[in-house]
Chains A and B, each alone.
Chain A
Amino acid sequence: GIQVEQSPPDLILQEGANSTLRCNFSDSVNNLQWFHQNPWGQLINLFYIPSGTKQNGRLSATTVATERYSLLYISSSQTTDSGVYFCAVTTSGTYKYIFGTGTRLKVLA
């Protein structure tokens, strides 16, 4: 089955810093989402982005499907950005989201 690897696994930032999270996948995908799991455990949908670039406030995401990766950019990080970031993908014929390994982000005040 498809492998979904995220990097880095852990990241500590000072408030105000910028960061880039990466999601690599081993096969072609139909759908791709980025989620944020906050410290209370809630999973928040950030982007649905099977291809192209999207922006929402301080967050933006780019997926290059032909090269099998997606990037999540966080600018001017805030302590509320702390948590785990997941990318999840579906492949042709399966239609179930396979989650990546996650990036644990901690933003220090």
Chain B
Amino acid sequence: DTAVSQTPKYLVTQMGNDKSIKCEQNLGHDTMYWYKQDSKKFLKIMFSYNNKELIINETVPNRFSPKSPDKAHLNLHINSLELGDSAVYFCASSQGWQRNNYGYTFGSGTRLTVV
């Protein structure tokens, strides 16, 4: 069974469209994250939810909106897609988010290409 699963794996879309990426974890973790990996492989956190509550919201355009219907799911909706949004988006989860959180488990990533 996949621990952290993201869908879709690949997403190609035109500029201006709205798209969503879904993430689900079956590890029983209470904290979930979205990271963006750019073309130079640099990984940067975007958002984090703990028990459905937003706890981290980095400097991300407000076209990006996370939604957590329950602690096992964290979705990412992107409005008015731009060329610069092309990247690989990773979902991750952990048990706890403060000191000694025992580390992340990552999903397999969603490669978003905006044309």
Q: Which residues of A contact B (CB under 8 A)?
A: 30-31, 33, 35, 37, 41-45, 48, 50, 84, 86, 88, 90, 92, 95-99, 101-102, 104
CB pair B100 A96 closer than 8 Å: no
Contacts A37-B41, A99-B44 supplied; 20 other A-B pairs, CB < 8 Å: A31-B99, A33-B103, A33-B104, A41-B88, A41-B108, A41-B109, A42-B106, A42-B108, A42-B109, A45-B105, A48-B102, A86-B43, A88-B104, A90-B101, A95-B99, A96-B33, A96-B45, A96-B48, A99-B42, A102-B41
List 7 interface pairs A-B (beta carbons < 8 Å), by A numbering: A33-B103, A45-B106, A48-B103, A84-B41, A95-B56, A96-B56, A102-B41
Total of A-B residue pairs, C-beta within 8 Å: 53
B90 at the interface (CB under 8 A from A): yes
B98 at the interface (CB under 8 A from A): yes
CA distance A84 to B42 in the complex (A): 11
CA distance A27 to B40 in the complex (A): 24
B76-115 at interface with A (beta carbon < 8 Å) = 88, 90, 97-106, 108-109, 111
